[in-house]
Structure 1
Amino acid sequence: MQSIINSFINIRIRDIIDILIVAFVLYRILLLIKETRAEQLMKGIGILLVLTKLSEWAELYTINWILSNAMTVGTLAILIVFQPELRRGLESLGRSRFFTKSFVDIRTENMANVVDEIVEACASLSRQKIGALMVFERQTGLNEIVETGTKINGNVSADLLINIFIPNTPLHDGAVIIKDNIIKAAACFLPLSESSAISRELGTRHRAAIGITERSDSLAVIVSEETGAISVAENGNISRYIDPETLKEILLNMYKPKNGKDSFLKWRSKYGKEE
């Protein structure tokens, strides 16, 4: 007890700062892996650590040797297994405003016109029940996705977007990548989400939208070919049955330099119906 008291007495300001930094880093790591496969893997690693210590105390030398050696090579295994989470964490760090400028470099009034064109296109596609998938690039570059499609590099307009997704046209199958006020490419292939929590009634288009938002900070807008419903995906989450007015507010908020990061989270909790 005396040693514990002495430890508290000898704590310096720099020790408190050190502890707070470590606690903050651990907290951010826990947020990063929350509700992912890594969360279950971390629990498994914790159980292995406990079993290793128990086998040492119980003098079960064979089991202890196996577990100890497994933990020795576990560092490499963690890097391999947690690769998607590590990549997402490093990208999140790189997107910090401390290191980069805001992803919005064009005037707000111009973006309002762009948003109007996008919403008009989505509303028209929804009425006609024409399937569509639009991905809005932010700070995380999507050039590897752009390379899988046909480059356009044209200004955003409702007519162009509608014509791209008209069935049986060369570019209708795939995703459109939009950066600010430019349509970079169409007919792009997206990685599919492997999440088991996605509703079975959602098809490949919705799964692809969720997949790209799991791997980047992009926002995806989907129009269902079967129902005409408009959905929005961000951060691996999807909110369905979005009306045009709500979609307009989401996109306008997304393009704001300060609040764009929280656009989907705000409107998903207020309007969205998550599946």
Structure 2
Amino acid sequence: MTPSEFFAAFTWRDALDFGLLYVAFYGTLRLLRGTRAVPVLLAVAFFAAIAAAARALDLVAVAALLKYVLEYIIIILIVVFHQEIRRVLLRIGQQLLPQGRRQQTRTAVSELVSAMERLQRARIGALIILEGELDVLDIASNRGREIDASLTADTIVALMIPHPTNLAHDGALLIRDLKIARAGVICPLSQRDDLDPRFGTRHRGAIGASEETDALVLVVSEERGEIRVVSRGEISPALSPAELETLLGEWLDQPPAEEADEDGEPVVARSRVDLTAASLESRVDLERSSVEGVK
């Protein structure tokens, strides 16, 4: 078929077919860019190209072998990258229904603030990790146990109550996609030597988790009854419930952005949160004034 014959036979349905495939392929790559799935997908594409070349050159044995390899690889990828696939689907849903996402965020913030206040009043130490785009379990020395529960203040407090049978209290709660994903997660301790000597294992674990990932980590000190937040290795001053509410709302509403990791490779992550006392106070005042203006 000559180029002129090809274009003469090219209909609007062919254009629509091509356009939809392009949008789906490009959109999927955009959503997956910066995740650990990308190098694997490139390897799969490489094998698929070799398989296509083998069929074109009539290399029967190579083509048959790669056909079976690719079929099993697809199944393996679905199992190994089920978290990434789930996040992509959730992100698509959030973009299609942003109002529902905002309501979920407001509810999550309210439950988290309520839980932290109750833990603070009871002087119960707690470590809660809000996972960003980077998988916290990749750096965890102990992945804890799966919970998969709704994000409510009652559940958080119950999981943090110290008791000989409650092993979750000694680790961190992992919040993923606005749900309590796991409990008893142990993260590496920060090795920094410039930290306040009052900060013990719990605070060092919070800083360690935030140094290696883009997570936002909430800490309650059982000795001093203080609430602090850690982001990218930086720890906040003691926070009031209003400051915590403002900070959580900002972080959860923040869209992920592309940045470079230590090796210069692109990753999708959440940005550092400004935890200075002056910045927090001004943001709380601004939020109060906006709420009063609405009233």
Quickly name the TM-score band, shorter chain normalised: 0.5 to 0.7
Q: Show the counterpart of 2:189.
A: 192
Residue type at the aligned position of 1:256: D
Cα RMSD (Å)? 2.7
2:113 counterpart SS class: helix
- The change in CA–CA distance for 1:199 and 1:257 in structure 2 (over 3 A counts) is closer
- Correspondence 1:70-149 to 2 at 5 A: 94=34, 105=94, 107-144=101-138, 145=140, 148-149=143-144
**Offset, 1:258:** 3.6
Q: Show the counterpart of 2:152.
A: 157
- The change in CA–CA distance for 1:196 and 1:269 in structure 2 (over 3 A counts) is farther
Q: Show the counterpart of 1:220.
A: 217
**Offset, 1:173:** 1.0
Q: Within 1, Cα distance between the matches of 2:137 and 2:256?
A: 25
Normalised to the residue count of structure 2, the TM-score between the two structures is: 0.55
Q: Within 1, Cα distance between the matches of 2:272 and 2:242?
A: 14
Q: Within 2, Cα distance between the matches of 1:268 and 1:155?
A: 32
1:154 counterpart SS class: strand
Equivalent of residue 177 in structure 2, options 149, 161, 180: 180
Q: Within 1, Cα distance between the matches of 2:243 and 2:112?
A: 13
Q: Deviations over 1:96-143 (max 9, x none)?
A: xxxx98x96461111100110010000000011100000010110123
- The change in CA–CA distance for 1:254 and 1:236 in structure 2 (over 3 A counts) is same
- The change in CA–CA distance for 1:267 and 1:111 in structure 2 (over 3 A counts) is farther
Contact 2:116/2:227 (8 A) holds in 1: yes
- Identity over the aligned pairs, expressed in percent? 31
Normalised to the residue count of structure 1, the TM-score between the two structures is: 0.58
Of residues 225-234 and 106-115 in structure 1, the stretch that sits farther from structure 2 once superposed is 106-115
Q: Within 2, Cα distance between the matches of 1:210 and 1:268?
A: 18
1:210 counterpart SS class: helix
Equivalent of residue 264 in structure 1, options 270, 273, 285: 273
- The change in CA–CA distance for 1:266 and 1:204 in structure 2 (over 3 A counts) is closer
Q: Within 2, Cα distance between the matches of 1:224 and 1:139?
A: 27
Q: Show the counterpart of 1:233.
A: 230
Gaps of 5+ in 1: 1-92
**Offset, 1:174:** 0.6
Contact 2:219/2:228 (8 A) holds in 1: yes
**Offset, 1:154:** 0.8
Q: Show the counterpart of 2:168.
A: 171
**Offset, 1:271:** 3.3
**Offset, 1:265:** 1.1
